Structure 1
Amino acid sequence: MQKSRPDSRDNLPEDFFIPVPLDVANITTLSPFLVPQTHLGNPSLFMGMAAFMFILIVLGVPINVLTIFCTFKYKKLRSHLNYILVNLSVSNLLVVCVGSTTAFYSFSNMYFSLGPTACKIEGFSATLGGMVSLWSLAVVAFERYLVICKPLGNFTFRGTHAIIGCAVTWMFGLAASLPPLFGWSRYIPEGLQCSCGPDWYTTENKWNNESYVIFLFCFCFGVPLSVIIFSYGRLLLTLRAVAKQQEQSATTQKAEREVTKMVVVMVMGFLVCWLPYASFALWVVTHRGEPFDVRLASIPSVFSKASTVYNPVIYVLMNKQFRSCMLKLIFCGKSPFGDEDDVSGSSQATQVSSVSSSQVSPA
C-alpha cells in the first residue's frame, strides 16, 4: 500500500487529488471519476466499506424517519426540545440519503463513478447535514443547561426559542458548507476516493485550504464542544449539589448516578462522531509533507457518517416517551415491553429540587 505524499504538482486536475507517487506518467489516467481505485487498496477493502455504508442506510433511515413521524403523530411529543431532535433527524437523513447512499454506490464500484458535479453535491450535503447535526447537539445541551440550572432566573425556554435554535443550526451549517463551492477550499474525493469532502490534505492553494480547515476546527468543532462540555458540566454540578442536600433520598441519589452516566454517553458520542475527523484534518494541516496511509483518511468520514445512527440511539431511544411511542407505532398501538404511556415529557416544567432521570434526559 502506497502512502500519500500531499505535495504540490504541476498541471494537476482541479477536481481531484490522487495520493500516489510523483513518478506517474499521466495522473489523469488514475482519475477517481474514471477508473477503479484499486491502486489504493484491494477490492475486499472497498466491498467492506460498501457493506458498512449499507448498514448505515438500513439502520439510519428508519430510526430518523420514525423520530420525525412519531413527533408529528403524537401530540405529547411536540415539545420544544423535541423540535431540536426532529431537526437532528432531518440533518441525519440528509447525510444518509445523499452522503451514505452515494458512498455506498461509489465503494461498490470502487471509484466515484457519478462524476465531479455529484462529488460536489455529496460533499456539500454531507458537510451541511453533519454541521447541522453537530450544532443541534450543542443546542440540546444548552437547552438542558437553561432549563435545569436556570442561569436566567425565570426565563422559560419555549417553542419559539427552539425554532430559533433550529434556524441557527442551519445558518451555521450553511456558513460551513458553502465556502468550498465558492473558492474557499473545494470538495474533492477523499481517502479511498469514493466519498467527497473538503480539501484538507493537499498543498494546492495552501493557505486557502489550511485557513478553511482551521475555521472548521475552531468554529464547527471547538465551539460546539465547548458549549456541550460547559452545559453538561454545569448540569452535573447542579444535580450533584441537589443530591448532596438530599443524601437520605435513594431516588435522588439514583437519578444523579443515571444522569451522570447519560451525560458521559452524550459527550463520548459527540467525540466519537467528530474527534477523528477534526484531529486527522488538523494533523495533516500541521504536518505538511509527512506521508500518511490513505486508508486512514477514510476512517474519519466513516465515523462522522455513522453518527446518523448512534446519535438517534442516544438522544431518542434512550428517552422513554419517544421509545414508547415508536414501539406503539411499530406494533400497532401496543408496546411489547410495557413502557409507560404517561412518562412525563420535556414540555413539563423541570424543577431541580425534584430531580429525576427523565427530567435531565436529552428529551
Structure 2
Amino acid sequence: MRGSRVEELPEDFWIPIPLDTNNITALSPYLVPQDHLGSKALFYSMSAFMFVLFVAGTAINVLTIACTVQYKKLRSHLNYILVNMAVANLIVSSCGSFTCFYCFGFRYMALGPLGCKIEGFTATIGGMVSLWSLAVIAFERWLVICKPLGNFAFKSEHALFFCALTWFFALCAAIPPLVGWSRYIPEGLQCSCGPDWYTTGSKYNTETFVMFLFCFCFSVPFTCIVFCYSQLLFTLKLAAKAQAESASTQKAEREVTRMVIVMVLGFLVCYMPYASFAIWIVNNRGQTFDLRLATIPSCFSKASTVYNPVIYVLLNKQFRSCMKKMLGMSGGDEEESTTTQSVTEVSKVGPS
C-alpha cells in the first residue's frame, strides 16, 4: 500500500488496501474479515500464538504476584520493581493478548472502535510500565553495586517511588492518543491496535508523537540501561581482576556478565522492532511495505509478558525457590542456601 492513499480514508480508521480497490468502506477492519491481507491460516496461527501468550503470560505473572504476597522474604526493594513489572505484564497479557486472540479468530477488529481504543491503551500503558521498570532495575543495580552515591541505601520507599514514576511515564505515553495527539487504530493485520504510525499531514500530528515515543520512551530508558549495566560490568571486572585467585569472585563476575547480556538483548528484542518500524514509517512516507511485517512489532512486545519474567523472575533463585514451594515442588531449601551464598559473593565483588 502507499501512504498517499491514507488521507482518502475515513477519520476513524485506516485501511491498508490495494490501490485499485474502490469500495473502501466494505473493507473496514471493524466490519468484515481482512482476508485481503492474508490467508485464513495466517490469521488462525496468529490467534493460536496470542492464546499461548495469554495463558503463559497470565500464569507466570499471577504466580509472581502471588509468591510475593505469600512470602514476606520476597518483599525487598528490588522485588517490588519486579512485581510492578509483573502487574504491567498481566495487564498486557489479560487485555492485549486476549483481545488479539479473539480478534484474530474473527480475522478483524471484532470489538469495534471502542474495543480498539481499550486494547491499544492497555497494551501501551502495560508495555511502557514494563519498559521503564527494566530501566529502574538497571538503575537500582548500578546504585547498589557500583555505589556512585557512596553509602546511599536504596530502600523500599525509593523502590515504591520509582514504581509510581513508571506508571506516570506510561500514562504520558498512553493518554495522548485518546485526546487527539495521534490515535489508536488497527495495525498490521488489523486485529490488534496501537498508535497511528501511518497517517501523514493529519490533525493528529502522528509524526511528532512517534518522535516523542522514540526519544522519551525508547532512547532514554535504553540509554539508562546501557549506561548502568556497562558501569556495573566495568566495576565487577575490576574487582574480579583484583581478586583473580578467588574462584567464587570469578564465577560471580561471569554470571553477572551473562545476565547483563541477556537483559540487554531481551530489551532490544522486545522494543527495537517497534522503535525501528515507527522511525522507518516516519522517514519513508509513501513507501510500499508489507502489512504482515507490521504485525511483528506487536507480537514481540506482547511476547515480552512471557520472556521478561523468565529473565528477571525465574532466573532469580529466591523467587524460583518460593515458586517451587508454592507449587509443592522439592529443592526449595537447597536453592535458598545457594541464593544466600550467591548474594554474598556478588556483594563482595562490589566496591566497599
The two structures share one fold, judged by TM-score above 0.5: yes
1:360 aligns with none
| 1:10 Cα offset (Å) | 5.1
| 1:337 Cα offset (Å) | 7.2
| 1:255 Cα offset (Å) | 1.1
In the alignment, structure 1 residue 174 sits paired with structure 2 residue 171: yes
Unaligned runs of 5+ in 1: 357-363
1: CA distance, partners of 2:322 / 2:346: 26
Give 1 or 2: higher helix fraction: 2
Superposition map of 1:55-204 within 5 A: 55-204=52-201
CA contact (8 A) 2:54 2:98 kept: yes
Aligned to 1:152, the other structure's residue is in SS state coil
- Give 1:340's aligned amino acid: E
Superposition map of 1:224-263 within 5 A: 224-263=221-260
1:341 aligns with 336
CA contact (8 A) 1:273 1:303 kept: yes
Closer/same/farther in 2, CA of residues 336 and 249 from structure 1, 3 Å limit = closer
1: CA distance, partners of 2:321 / 2:343: 21
2:274 aligns with 277
1:42 aligns with 39
2: CA distance, partners of 1:122 / 1:230: 33
After superposition, the CA RMSD in angstroms is 1.9
2: CA distance, partners of 1:336 / 1:238: 33
In the alignment, structure 1 residue 51 sits paired with structure 2 residue 51: no
1:329 aligns with 326
Aligned to 1:193, the other structure's residue is in SS state coil
Unaligned runs of 5+ in 2: none
Q: Deviations over 1:193-217 (max 9, x none)?
A: 0000000022251770010000000
Q: 1:205 aligns with which of 202, 205, 222?
A: 202
2:287 aligns with 290
2: CA distance, partners of 1:353 / 1:310: 27
Segment of structure 1 superposing worse, 225-234 or 7-16? 7-16
Closer/same/farther in 2, CA of residues 231 and 273 from structure 1, 3 Å limit = same
2: CA distance, partners of 1:8 / 1:161: 50
- Give 1:14's aligned amino acid: E
2: CA distance, partners of 1:10 / 1:201: 10
Aligned to 1:291, the other structure's residue is in SS state coil
- Give 2:147's aligned amino acid: K
2:213 aligns with 216
CA contact (8 A) 1:123 1:187 kept: yes
- Percent of residue pairs identical: 65
1:361 aligns with none
1:7 aligns with 4
1:355 aligns with 349
- Give 2:45's aligned amino acid: G
Q: Deviations over 1:53-92 (max 9, x none)?
A: 0110111111100100101100110101100000000000
CA contact (8 A) 1:242 1:353 kept: no
2: CA distance, partners of 1:146 / 1:131: 23
